[in-house]
Structure 1
Amino acid sequence: MTDSDAAPTPSTSPGHAQVGVTGMAVMGRNLARNFARHGFRVAVHNRTTSKAEAVVREFGHEGDLTLARSLEELVAALERPRRVIVMVAAGPGTDAVIDELVPLLDPGDVVADAGNAHWRDTVRRHDALAEHGIRFAGVGVSGGEVGALEGPSVMPGADADTYAEIGPFLEVVSAHVDDEPCCTLVGPDGAGHFVKMVHNGIEYADMQLIAEGYDLMRRLLGMEPAAAAEVFREWDGTELESYLVGITAEVLAQSDAGTAGPLVDVIRDAAEQKGTGRWTVQSALDLGVPVTGIAEATMARALSGDTARRAAVRDALGDQDPAGPPARVPTDDLRQALYAAKVVSYAQGLDLVRAGSAEQCWDVELAELPRIWRDGCIIRARLLADITEALERHPDAPSLLATPTFARAVTERLPALRRVVGAAVQGGVPVPVLSAVLAYLDALRAERLPAALVQGLRDYFGAHTYERVDRPGSFHTAWAADRTEVEAG
């Protein structure tokens, strides 16, 4: 074995490292390298020591990386107050690492969970560690493995004094736009992970919208993937410019080495998920916030994966629709429809953040979110600058859709959205998110909704009462008796 093959050794200087990272899967490894590349002294640890050894051996030339073969060594390697970033699988794995860390730390030390934790778990961990005097941060990190290395969007939730310790490190390694870090203190305890959850929900909707747009190009316009790729590449120079639109062109243009056909045609059409979209929908239901686009995108993934049921129903119903030839829509209509739907997805996500912040007393500054999403994260897009400006100018607007900029933008594109959904329905092409967005906009714009009938039915079978439009109070009709109306106490 040569000297270069020898396992790295821990630093001989206790208290040398400024930050420690435990968990050397791809995200943790790249985040540690990012810290080191920016001149920070970093201690790295992994439960399987060989992974941490490999990081020091392969990337030690990038900066000051110290190997810790145990959590005890990791803690000993850190200056005080200690800063430990946990990058392990969310759930019991995170709890296990934190439980092992607590006895090794002192009051005032900081533990930051930068995994995809559920925000309620983050609140619980924050409170539990506070009993030991240990400061806790729940840090949402978006950007994938490339973002973790080159600059992610970072959404920390922490107390102000905790952020004062860990925030400067996170701001330096985050993505930057106009010299501003794509990182800000979102709010206390679970606020950061709540916002990251909503970010991922918007990401679900955005990806499904893009997929629906491609499906319409393929099935209504007869475009092959390479031709669709060119359309998305062109769109990436318009108001639709975004990371996801850009990589859509790359994926659609990719050929499969084995078949020489489009790669997208040999990828199994069953989309997976890791749970954050589902958490977003569950939180929205708990808070009574309609996030219909995000919900339909989440359900679309679930439906796509239910391949056995899809096959059975297809065999039973057939795959041919007798409605006649599908209508064609110009790609410019598709572009306008996608933009309008994308705006609605952001609006619904921000509505959910607003409601969660109010319930938890987090005081989240909504305009800061699109600002830190402008780079580094998966949903980065040109329109985020406009969203930031709209929210700053109209902080009291009840919805992004009520701001003048986006009210005008969506209104102008609504006819195109309606034409696209109509053509999809006629052609038998499922567009669950585009359809849900159109229904959402129509419902918001309606002067009166059929919910009045729903309330009447609820009162009929359950005496749930109803309110009237002409006078205050709650009322009940004696449906099973003489049908007189009485004011409910």
Structure 2
Amino acid sequence: MADPTSGPTPTATPTATIGLTGLAVMGRNLARNIARHGHTIAVHNRTAARTTSLLEEHGDEGSLVATGSLEELVAAVEQPRVLIVMVKAGEPTDAVVDALVPLLDEGDIVVDAGNAHPDDTTRRQQQLEEHGLHFVGMGVSGGEEGALHGPSIMVGGSDHAYDRLGPVVESIAAQVDGEPCATHVGPGAAGHFVKMVHNGIEYADMQLIAESYDLLRSVLGISPAEVADIFEEWNGGDLESFLIELTADVLRHTDRTSGTPFVDVVADAAEQKGTGRWTVQSALDLGVPVTGIAEATFARSLSGHREQRDAARKVFDTDPDPVEVDRDRFVDDVRAALYASKVVAYAQGFDQIAAGAEANGWDIDLGAVATIWRGGCIIRAQFLDRIREAYADEPDLTTLLTTPYFAQAVLDGVHSWRRVVATAAQSGVPVPAFGSSLSYFDGLRRERLPAAVIQLLRDSFGAHSYQRTDRPGTFHTAWAGDLAEVEIEA
């Protein structure tokens, strides 16, 4: 339990429902959103000028209480206190949390609303539990606009914490069909884990969109504006999503200086903040193949290796011969391949959430996750309604790919998918996410995979053993001897 005598002595009755420290763009907009929805929020920033500017520019939007120190912030919030931390992940978050702990009382709640690694969240929860405090890892998706107008919110932590925090986050979240895009995902680091996987799916989604753009432009030889028209048309159908809509918008933008398509003056090296890499590392630990997310993450890494790319281009400067395609058919093929690959990416992401929940003892409702991703978040898309329905019909679903709707969508597009990947290879257009997603699909549907060869090689050089298809047991063959097979006792 925190020492109550170490905290500040309030000079007045606390007036704020909730507090927030860290007023960069996300924190500032989240504070405004909370105030706009009728909650009194105490705000603090290490640099006081940001607090002052927030009150001067937006103080009329709701009840914002300025505080000049963490002590004042804590004193301004009603007990049990809820204090949101919106600073950079890692050491900056640790520093703020460590500074808050001696100021708090038993039952108070500290909320990390940044993109934290789930392991860090677990560590912080254990540390705060020793002081009788609650630590919440809260995933917030939607960027700065979502933070202001309604994000998707994934809350982890204890029931006690959500009882206090829930009414606030449900009121400020995006709303779809009268339902808030916010929920108590589960205990422990469940909230940050789900947000991490969300971001991994986001990596795959953006890579697939980028590959679609590259294919349409490179194979058809059309302009970014023409590609934008195609994406706008796609957004009126089953591909309707925030990212598809946004792609059409950015591809139409032209450089004000040169008048050229803006996409052509932007460096082709994609940055990342780590959540995609965390997702892949976690999937490896869990034994879950998230091939689309992994290839999207590696594609960003490759894009940043400019010296290697420059060196390779000097050596391998011969492009393949152009491939002749029917324009309308190719556009339809890319659309179908994009949809099928997106289904794979989401299916893999939900597989990872299920595996993470099982490994950590979290009871995560996958249908609820799909529900809160329908609005506010970056990967919001029309077909999340279908995912929600799939888990409502079959909560213990093995994989989304086998549900009637998604199975039919993949079957309808599989021939287009194969043509697109083949055309990409013939044209020299890299499509790591399309290709890996198709290979994953083929790996699932094949009766026999070549893993038997791998098992025999492992047994041959390392006596790692193998199983047979015709009888139970574990076996080893004396490859360097008489080739006799022996059964290994359990």
Q: TM-score, normalised by structure 2?
A: 0.96
Paired residue for 2:3?
none
Paired residue for 1:480?
480
User: How many residues were matched structurally?
Assistant: 478
**8 Å CA contact 1:326, 1:426 repeated in 2:** no
Q: Distance in 2 between matches of 1:66 and 1:304?
A: 45
Q: CA deviation at 1:319?
A: 4.0
Q: CA deviation at 1:302?
A: 0.4
1:71-114 per-residue CA deviation (whole Å, 9 max, x = no partner) reads 00000111111110000000011010000000000001111100
Tell me which amino acid in the other structure corresponds to 2:435.
Answer: S
Structure 1 residue matching 2:182: 3-state secondary structure? coil
Matched ranges for 1:23-172 at <5 A: 23-172=22-171
**8 Å CA contact 2:176, 2:374 repeated in 1:** yes
1:275 aligns with 2:280: no
Paired residue for 1:347?
347
**8 Å CA contact 1:21, 1:85 repeated in 2:** yes
Q: Distance in 2 between matches of 1:134 and 1:15?
A: 19
Q: Distance in 2 between matches of 1:377 and 1:196?
A: 10
Tell me which amino acid in the other structure corresponds to 2:362.
Answer: W
**8 Å CA contact 1:326, 1:427 repeated in 2:** no
Structure 1 residue matching 2:137: 3-state secondary structure? strand
Q: CA deviation at 1:132?
A: 0.6
Paired residue for 1:369?
369
**8 Å CA contact 1:474, 1:488 repeated in 2:** yes
Q: Distance in 2 between matches of 1:142 and 1:109?
A: 25
Q: Distance in 2 between matches of 1:31 and 1:129?
A: 24
Q: CA RMSD in A?
A: 1.1
Q: Distance in 2 between matches of 1:137 and 1:300?
A: 33
Runs of 4 or more consecutive aligned structure 1 residues displaced over 2 Å after TM superposition: 11-14, 323-329
Matched ranges for 1:149-228 at <5 A: 149-228=148-227
Q: CA deviation at 1:193?
A: 0.3
**8 Å CA contact 1:326, 1:423 repeated in 2:** no
Q: CA deviation at 1:326?
A: 5.3
Structure 2 residue matching 1:330: 3-state secondary structure? helix
Structure 2 residue matching 1:430: 3-state secondary structure? coil
Q: CA deviation at 1:271?
A: 0.3
**8 Å CA contact 2:219, 2:323 repeated in 1:** no
Q: CA deviation at 1:135?
A: 1.1
**8 Å CA contact 2:174, 2:180 repeated in 1:** yes
**8 Å CA contact 2:443, 2:449 repeated in 1:** yes
Structure 1 residue matching 2:220: 3-state secondary structure? coil
Q: CA deviation at 1:402?
A: 1.6
Q: TM-score, normalised by structure 1?
A: 0.96
Q: Distance in 2 between matches of 1:396 and 1:74?
A: 44
Q: Distance in 2 between matches of 1:425 and 1:316?
A: 19
Structure 1 residue matching 2:79: 3-state secondary structure? coil
Paired residue for 1:421?
421
Q: CA deviation at 1:248?
A: 0.3
Q: CA deviation at 1:45?
A: 0.4
Q: CA deviation at 1:14?
A: 3.8
**8 Å CA contact 1:327, 1:426 repeated in 2:** no
Paired residue for 2:323?
325
Structure 2 residue matching 1:154: 3-state secondary structure? strand
Structure 2 residue matching 1:140: 3-state secondary structure? strand
Unaligned ranges ≥5, structure 2: 1-9
Q: CA deviation at 1:12?
A: 7.3
Q: Distance in 2 between matches of 1:363 and 1:63?
A: 37
Structure 1 residue matching 2:366: 3-state secondary structure? coil
Q: CA deviation at 1:467?
A: 0.2
Paired residue for 2:393?
393
Structure 2 residue matching 1:102: 3-state secondary structure? helix
Q: CA deviation at 1:407?
A: 1.1
Q: Compared with structure 1, are the counterparts of its residues 422 and 327 closer, same or farther at alpha carbon in structure 2 (3 Å cutoff)?
A: farther
Q: CA deviation at 1:396?
A: 2.0
Tell me which amino acid in the other structure corresponds to 1:471.
Answer: R
Unaligned ranges ≥5, structure 1: 1-10
Q: CA deviation at 1:325?
A: 3.5
Percent of aligned positions that are identical: 59
Q: Distance in 1 between matches of 2:180 and 2:337?
A: 32
Q: CA deviation at 1:484?
A: 0.6
**8 Å CA contact 1:24, 1:45 repeated in 2:** yes
